[in-house]
Structure 1
Amino acid sequence: MNLNAEILNKNIAALISGTNEPLARKLLDFLKSKSFTRFSLSEDFNIYDKSNQTFMYENLENELEHFYTHILASSPRYPFICLYGIANAFLVKKLARHYKHIFVFESELELFALALSSVDLSLELTSGKVYLIDSLEEKVATQLLILFDQKDMFEYLLLYELFINNAYYSRFYEQELKNINEFILEHIQIVIRNLNLNSELPLLSYQNFLNNAPTMLQSIPFQKLLSQRKGKFDTAIVVSAGPSLNKQLELLARVQEKAVIFCADGSLNTLLACKIKPDYVTNLDYSDHALKFFQCALPSKTINAISASTHPSMLAKLENKCVILKTTPIYERFGLSEFGYLDVGTQVSHFSYVLALELGFKTIIMLGQDLAFDEAGNSHAKGFAYGQSFEAEEEFTKLKVLAYGGKGEGLTHYTWYDYKIKLEFLFSCNALKAKFYNATEGGARIAFTEELSFKECCERFLSKEKPEFEVPKSLPENKSKKLLLKFKEKLQKDQKTCELFLNDSTSLYQALDNILNSNKDLPLEFLQSVKASIEKLNFSLDTSDFCQDGMLRAVFFQRGRLISKVLNSKIQDEKLYLFHFVCAYKEWLELFIQALDERKKAIEEALFER
C-alpha cells in the first residue's frame, strides 16, 4: 500500500491550521506506527476491509455516481450536509462544490489516513468548507457545539439529516450510524433550544443592561479586580446549591480560610447559616426573584460579582459590587472594556467557574453541583430560599443520566442537562488552564472533571492560608461620567441604525406584500430580481454589527426556519421555488420588524431616562 505523502502532508497541514488540530495530531501519531491493520487501498482507490474480507465499493465508479446524485437530489439548495464515512474522499471532494459546509463523520483513523492520502482536500479544509470529525474524539461534543453555533449554520440546523458515503457503511456501521445520528440531534437541540421567539429573556436582558449602565460605571471595574487579584492564589472552591451540599458544610466551614470560595447566589443563605464567608457571590438573574437569596448581611469583604444584565433591583441592594459585561458582541460594541468581558453563561455556577478561571485559579473544587434530584427527590440544599423541593424544577421534562461515580443512574431534567453539557464544554475548553475536581459526591457525572471526595481534596490541595484582599475601589466620578457620556453617544448611534433598518425592512415588506397580492403570473426573471433585493437586505443585516450582536439571534433563527421549510419541500421548478421563498421571507420580515421595533423602544426609553 503506497500512500501519497505529498497529498497526505498537505491535508494534515490544513487540519493543523485550525480546522481540526486534534485529528491532525492523532493522524501523525498513527502514521508513525504505520499500523494499518484493517484497511488497505488498491491502485484504483478502492478500499479493502480485511476484517470483513470485502471491498468498500462493488463498482467504484457507479457507486460514487449513485450516491453523488442521490445526495444532491435529497438536498437541493441546502447550505450544508452531514455525511457519515469518509471512504476514499472522492465523493466528499465532488460534493464540496455544491455546499457551504460539509461535515464528515468517521470513526476509523485508518480510513482518515487512506482518504487524506488519496484526494487533495487542503483548500476545502482550510476554508472550512469541509470539516472532518472524528466521532471517537473525546471532545467531539465541544467540536459540534462550536461548529453548529456558527452564524451561517445555526439558522439552518433544522435541515439536518445524516447521509452515508456508500452502501458499505450501512452494512457494517449500522449501530455507529444510529449512535452518531442521535448524538448530533441531541447537540442540535442544545444549540437551538433557547432560540424561542416568544422568550422575553433577550429583550429583558437588553433592557436591564441599558438600565444598569450608570450603576455599573460606578461599581468596581472588573479589570481592576483582575489586576489586583489574578494569579495570587491557586485553589478555589465553587459552591452550588445542589442537595449534596449539606453533607460538605461542616468540613467547608473548617477549611474556609485555605481556599477562595465562589458562591452561587442560591447557596448563599446555606453558607451564611453555617458561618461560612464566601469571597465571591455570583448572580445573573434577569428577574428580581434572586433578592430572596440576599436577605442576610454579607461579610464586609465579600465581592458581589453581578452580570450587567441582572435585574436592576439587585444592583440597588448590594454593596461591593463588580458588575461585569458578558463576552458577547452586544456588550463588546460599547467599548467599556474596564467592566468586562466574561462568558458568564446562562447558569450562575457557570459564572462562578469562568470567574475563577479568569482570576487564574489552577485547582477548582466543585461542591453542590448535582444537576440532578437526590434520592429523596430534593432539587436543592437545605436552606435554599425557595425550598429543598423547588416547585419550578418539577415543570421540566425528566430524563435519566449516568450518576456521579459512574454507578447507576440519576434523575435530571432538560434544563439541568443543558447546563451539564455547557459545563462540560467549558471544562474541556479550559483543561490546560485548570484542573476541575468534582467533590459533589452526588448527582450527575460531569465529564472533563476528576471525581474526588471533598475530604481528599482538602488533604491534597488546602495546605496554606489564602491571602486577604482589600475591596477594590470604583472609578473616580469624573471618569465614570465620561464613560456614561460615551455610552449614551453609542446608544444614540444605535437608535439611528435601528431606524434605518426599520425603514429598509418595512419598505421591502410592503413591496413583497404588494407583489404577492397582485394575483399576477410572476415571471421567473422578475422573481429572480425580487430575490436579489432580498439578498441585498440580507447582506446588510448579516454584516451589521448592530444586527449581529446577539440580541436578535432568535429572530434570525426564525429566518432560517422559514426558509428551511421551503428547502425541505425540495421544489425542483425554479419559479415555484422562488415564489415560496419570497412568501417565507415576507413572513419573516414581519417578525423581524416587530423585534426591531421592540429594540428601538428599549433604546428610546433608556435615552429618555438619561
Structure 2
Amino acid sequence: LPQMITHPSYKELLSKRKGISDTAIIVSTGPSLTKQLPLLKKYASKATIFCADSSYPILAKHGIKPDYVLSLERIPLTSEFFNNDFGEFDKDILFVLKSYVHPHTTKYLQKNNRNFMLVSTYASFINYLKLDDFGYFNMGFSVANMNFLLAIHLKHKNIVLIGQDLAYTKDGLSHTKDYSNLDKHEGHFQRDKNKYTTQAYGGNGKVESSFVWTLFRHNFEQDVANAKKNYYITTYNCTEGGARIEGTIEKPFLWAC
C-alpha cells in the first residue's frame, strides 16, 4: 500500500497520456518475436510500445526502448525479469504493475530508480480506503491481455500484436530464443501435443497450443471484439506465426510499420 500511494495513480496516467498516440504495438515473447526485432527497432519511434515483463530484458538487449512495461504475476520467478541494471536505457520507461505483484518486483525497480506505478483491479478494500484513483483496471489472464486493455484505456486507435504466438513452433519451441526461462518449458510440447490443436495464423493448417494459451487466446478474442464494438479500435495481428486470434486482421509487421 505505501508503494501504491507514493507513486503516480492510474487516474493521473490516463489524464496525462490518453489519446497522445494512434498506434500501440504490444510485444510478447512468442517464438516469432526474434524475426520481428529488426523491424521493431527501425520503426520504434512511430508507435507507442507496450511490452510484457518477459520481453523487457529482450528489448533492452537489442536496444529497443518500450514506453510501458507491464507485470501482473505474483511469483518470484517473474520478478527476476527486473533483476538487472540497464542504466540510461530505463529512463522514461513507465513500469505498470498489478497491485499484488511479488515484493521482489518493486524492490528491484526501486533499486535502480525506475519509474513505476501500482494499479488495482476492483477491490472493496481499496474502495473503502478511498483510493479509487489507483484503479480500477480489469487486467485479464495474462500480461499480454493486460497490455491490450491498457492500450484501450489510453485510447489508441490501432493495436498491433507481435510475438503473440500462443502456440508452439513445429520443432516444439515455446518462446523466443532470447527468453530467459526457456528451460522451464522443456517437455511441455510433448505433454500438450494433440490436446490443444488450433487453427494456425493465416489459416494455413493447425498448430499445437496449450491449455493456458487457449485461455489467453479466448480472452484476447473477447477483448478484440469488445475493442472493435465499443471503442472502434482495430487490432492487427502481425505475429506472422503461431495461432490465429479470431477478430484480428492478419498483416505482415512491415505493412503495419
TM above 0.5: yes
Partner of 1:451: 250
8 Å CA contact 1:216–1:308 kept in 2: the answer is: yes
Structure 2 residue 132 is the aligned partner of structure 1 residue 337: yes
In the comparison of the two structures, how many residue pairs are matched? 246
Q: Distance in 2 between matches of 1:289 and 1:352?
A: 20
Secondary structure (helix, strand or coil) at the match of 2:90 reads coil
Structure 2 residue 146 is the aligned partner of structure 1 residue 358: no
Task: Pick from 387, 400, 420 the counterpart of residue 197 of structure 2.
Answer: 400
Structure 2 residue 240 is the aligned partner of structure 1 residue 441: yes
Partner of 2:176: 381
Task: Pick from 230, 247, 255 the counterpart of residue 35 of structure 2.
Answer: 247
Aligned 1:299-314 pairs, distance under 5 A: 299-314=90-105
Q: CA offset at residue 346 of structure 1?
A: 2.1
Q: CA offset at residue 414 of structure 1?
A: 0.7
1:240–1:332 CA distance, 2 compared to 1 (3 A): farther
Q: Distance in 2 between matches of 1:330 and 1:396?
A: 40
Q: Which amino acid aligns with 1:430?
A: A
Task: Pick from 401, 407, 420 the counterpart of residue 217 of structure 2.
Answer: 420
8 Å CA contact 1:280–1:303 kept in 2: the answer is: yes
8 Å CA contact 2:79–2:102 kept in 1: the answer is: no
Q: Which segments of 5 or more consecutive residues in structure 1 lack a partner in the other structure?
A: 1-212, 459-610
Q: Which segments of 5 or more consecutive residues in structure 2 lack a partner in the other structure?
A: none
8 Å CA contact 1:379–1:388 kept in 2: the answer is: no
1:521-558 per-residue CA deviation (whole Å, 9 max, x = no partner) reads xxxxxxxxxxxxxxxxxxxxxxxxxxxxxxxxxxxxxx
Q: CA offset at residue 273 of structure 1?
A: 1.2
1:382–1:389 CA distance, 2 compared to 1 (3 A): farther
Q: What is the identity percentage for the equivalent residue pairs of Structure 1 and Structure 2?
A: 35
| Structure of greater relative contact order (alpha carbons < 8 Å, 6+ residues apart) | 2
1:364-406 per-residue CA deviation (whole Å, 9 max, x = no partner) reads 0000000000122111112111127723845964420000011
8 Å CA contact 1:220–1:320 kept in 2: the answer is: no
Secondary structure (helix, strand or coil) at the match of 1:399 reads coil
1:449–1:328 CA distance, 2 compared to 1 (3 A): farther
Q: Which amino acid aligns with 1:299?
A: D
8 Å CA contact 2:224–2:248 kept in 1: the answer is: yes
CA RMSD, 1 decimal:
1.8
8 Å CA contact 2:9–2:117 kept in 1: the answer is: yes
Q: Distance in 1 between matches of 2:99 and 2:25?
A: 24
1:443-501 per-residue CA deviation (whole Å, 9 max, x = no partner) reads 0000111111101111xxxxxxxxxxxxxxxxxxxxxxxxxxxxxxxxxxxxxxxxxxx
Secondary structure (helix, strand or coil) at the match of 1:341 reads coil
8 Å CA contact 1:378–1:388 kept in 2: the answer is: no
Q: Distance in 2 between matches of 1:443 and 1:221?
A: 36
1:121-176 per-residue CA deviation (whole Å, 9 max, x = no partner) reads xxxxxxxxxxxxxxxxxxxxxxxxxxxxxxxxxxxxxxxxxxxxxxxxxxxxxxxx
Q: Distance in 1 between matches of 2:246 and 2:124?
A: 29
Q: Which amino acid aligns with 1:414?
A: F
Aligned 1:150-549 pairs, distance under 5 A: 213-294=1-82, 295-297=84-86, 298-318=89-109, 319-327=114-122, 331-387=126-182, 390-391=185-186, 393-394=188-189, 397=192, 398-432=195-229, 433=231, 434-458=233-257
Q: Which amino acid aligns with 2:32?
A: S
Q: Distance in 2 between matches of 1:455 and 1:310?
A: 35
1:389–1:313 CA distance, 2 compared to 1 (3 A): closer
1:216–1:393 CA distance, 2 compared to 1 (3 A): farther
Q: CA offset at residue 292 of structure 1?
A: 2.2
1:239–1:392 CA distance, 2 compared to 1 (3 A): farther
1:409-443 per-residue CA deviation (whole Å, 9 max, x = no partner) reads 00001111011111111111121321100000000
8 Å CA contact 2:126–2:132 kept in 1: the answer is: no
1:449–1:331 CA distance, 2 compared to 1 (3 A): farther
8 Å CA contact 1:396–1:414 kept in 2: the answer is: no
Q: Distance in 2 between matches of 1:396 and 1:220?
A: 43
- Greater than 6 Å deviation, 4+ residue runs: none
1:418–1:291 CA distance, 2 compared to 1 (3 A): same
Secondary structure (helix, strand or coil) at the match of 2:197 reads strand
Q: CA offset at residue 312 of structure 1?
A: 1.3
Q: CA offset at residue 216 of structure 1?
A: 1.0
Q: CA offset at residue 237 of structure 1?
A: 0.2
Partner of 1:98: none
Q: Distance in 1 between matches of 2:147 and 2:2?
A: 24
Q: Which amino acid aligns with 1:287?
A: I
Q: Distance in 2 between matches of 1:388 and 1:250?
A: 25
Q: TM-score, normalization: structure 1?
A: 0.39
Secondary structure (helix, strand or coil) at the match of 1:237 reads strand
Q: CA offset at residue 290 of structure 1?
A: 1.3
Q: TM-score, normalization: structure 2?
A: 0.90
Q: CA offset at residue 329 of structure 1?
A: 5.0
Q: Distance in 2 between matches of 1:328 and 1:425?
A: 23
Secondary structure (helix, strand or coil) at the match of 1:412 reads coil
